[in-house]
Structure formats: C-alpha cells, structure tokens
Structure 1
Amino acid sequence: MNEYMNGEELHTMINEKQDMVIDDLLPIGVVLFGAPEKTGKTFFALQISDAIVHNKPLLNFNVSKGEVLYIALEDLKGSIQYRLKKICFEPSKHMHFIFSSDGLSMNLTEEIAKINKHNNLKLVVIDTLAKISRAEVNIIKANMMRWQIFIN
C-alpha cells in the first residue's frame, strides 16, 4: 500500500529505528552493490563478511555479529581463497560458501533456510548477478522479502 506525505510531514515525523547489520552503513534487508568490473566489489563484500563473522568494526562502524552466506556464481574456490588471504581473513565456521559455475542452479530460498535454521544469519552475498538470467532475477526479487524474514 502506498503512503503519501508532503515534505513538512516527512520532516516532522518520528523516525523509526531501522535494524542495522553495520551501524549507519548497512541495514538489514536487500542491498545491491553495483559498479564497473574490477573495481573491488568482491573484495568489499568479503571485507563486510569478515567484519560480520568476526564482530569487528568496518570503517569505524560497529557491526552486528552473525553468520554470512556467500554465493559465488563466477569465481572459483581458489580465487575466493586468494582474496580472503589478501584481506587477512581468519578462518571461521560462521562464514558459509556455495560455489556454482552454472549460474543459479540452486534453490536460494532453501539454501538460505538451511544456513539460517540454527544460526544467526546476518548477510547473504550473491556474487555476481551477471550470470543470472532475467527470469532468475525475477525469482530473486520475488523471494527478497522471504529472505529478509530469514535474515531478521
């Protein structure tokens, strides 16, 4: 349902506190990072993941500790391992990986539910959307609210 308000109403309303994974930086919910190729998106996603699983500040922002599910649709295991070493990632049982070289041949809702069943899932990274077909993007969009419920 749409809600309409004018600028004065928006300015004077009482702010609702949004739950955050990283204070003042990353809210719970769906966030899309987009940038040209080879600009560091994967490194940044891994650094965010590292901060969450080890409960350490990221860029001086407080982080909410939890589990991370990292779905690598293009990178090989060795490539992700290399990047984790570059950011000095300490191994953690709270960081979960799925590698799929054939695009999205998995049921993401089931995979997220498996990880979150007994854990405190805070972040799901899907790297990269380039291999996902238009139909699969629509499936992802349709399930985003369900995944947000899992993550909350």
Structure 2
Amino acid sequence: MTAFVTIAEIERALLHDKPRRRIIIPDVLPAGPCLIYGPSGVGKTGIAIRTGVAVAGGLQWAGRMISRGSVLYVAGEDIEGAKVRLVAAARELGLDPSTLPVAIMEAPADGLVSNSTRIAVVGAAQALAKNFNLPIAAVIVDTLAASFGPKSQDEATAASEYMSNADRTAR
C-alpha cells in the first residue's frame, strides 16, 4: 500500500521541485504511455527507433523541437536487429553512437505485465539516466505483443496489468 501525501507536501513539491516532463514532441508525443500500432511490416519499429534516437540526440522531429533525454529501448523480439538499427539510425542522423544516451535491453521472459519486470525496467532506466547525467525521456517497448510474456495480449486482465505498469513506469 502506498503511503499518503499531505496537500502541504504536494504544494511544496509543485512550487520547488523540478517540473514534471509533459511533452516530448509537441503535438505528437506526450510524456506517458503511448502506442504506435498498425499491421505487421509497415514500419512501426523504424519509427520507434528513429524517434528514440532523435530524442536522445535532441534533434527535430518533423520540424518540431524535441525535449532531449535518455532513451531505453526494451526489445521484445529481434534484439540483435534492433541493435543494428539503433546504430544505423544514429549514424544516418549524424550522431556519434558512443556519446548518445540510448540503451537497449531484452524484455524479460515474464513480460512487462509483472511488477518485478517493471521494477527491472525502471532500474535500467535510472542507471542509464545516471550514466549520461540526462533524465529519461522515453522508454520504448517493441513489440507490445512480445512483451506480454506467457499472458495473452487479447485478455483484458493482461492488457490492464500492462497499461498499469506502463503508467507506473512513466511516472
């Protein structure tokens, strides 16, 4: 159970803490859980990788300024292919992969529907942010279907668990 927070503590945080990131790409990508969806083979992974590298590099995206930050890519399938594509995207955009705050990890076998996995992803994201001294801007999970572990993406309970963990990870 979560401990309570008083309204005085909330006000103090609102007035004195660093503001919460709300937008990553104006009019395109808010902070928090977002989905890219479409049929197989239409380029969802390419868009996710290109966007992640652009965010990490602080580049523009379709003419919009990006809120720069570290990016963790969680590969639910084809991690080796994703590694190659991340490096290729960085090089194509004129960025040095050795200084880019991007990391990749394999999605754990039990999927991102478990709390222990959420904790592992958050821990990896925190380590990445500390390593580059740059806050996390995005955690990209690719693919959603492969990230359900032994559970079915078609079950409402599993989908609810996934979205709950995605929301908690974003916070």
What is the TM-score when the length of structure 2 is the normalising length?
0.66
1:31 aligns with 2:37: no
Aligned equivalent of 1:108:
118
Aligned equivalent of 2:14:
none
Check whether the contact 1:73–1:103 (CA below 8 A) recurs between aligned residues: no
Note closer, same or farther for the CA distance 1:146–1:103 as it changes in structure 2 (3 Å cut): closer
Aligned equivalent of 1:20:
23
Instruction: From 135, 146, 149, give the equivalent of 2:168.
Output: 146
Distance 1:60 1:136 in 2: 37
Distance 2:58 2:22 in 1: 16
Q: Structure 1 counterpart of 2:125, which letter?
A: I
Residue 112 of structure 1 and its aligned partner are, at CA, apart by 1.6
Aligned length: 131
Q: Structure 2 counterpart of 1:115, which letter?
A: A
Distance 1:113 1:23 in 2: 27
User: Which 10-residue stretch deviates more, 128-137 or 60-69?
Assistant: 128-137
The 5 A counterparts of 1:3-152 are 19-77=22-80, 79-87=81-89, 88=92, 90=95, 91=97, 92-100=99-107, 102=109, 104=111, 107-116=117-126, 118=130, 119-131=134-146, 132=148, 133-134=151-152, 136-149=158-171
Calculate the aligned-residue CA RMSD, in Å: 2.4
Note closer, same or farther for the CA distance 1:38–1:98 as it changes in structure 2 (3 Å cut): same
Return 5+ residue gaps in structure 2 as ranges. Answer: 1-20
Distance 2:48 2:85 in 1: 11
Note closer, same or farther for the CA distance 1:52–1:71 as it changes in structure 2 (3 Å cut): same
Check whether the contact 1:70–1:96 (CA below 8 A) recurs between aligned residues: yes
Q: CA deviation digits over 1:92-121, x for unaligned, max 9?
A: 441011024846276123322442363401
Distance 1:75 1:103 in 2: 17
Distance 2:69 2:54 in 1: 9
Say which structure is richer in helix. 2
Return 5+ residue gaps in structure 1 as ranges. Answer: 1-17
Distance 1:59 1:147 in 2: 27
SS at match of 2:137: strand
What is the TM-score when the length of structure 1 is the normalising length?
0.73
Note closer, same or farther for the CA distance 1:136–1:96 as it changes in structure 2 (3 Å cut): farther
Check whether the contact 1:104–1:136 (CA below 8 A) recurs between aligned residues: no
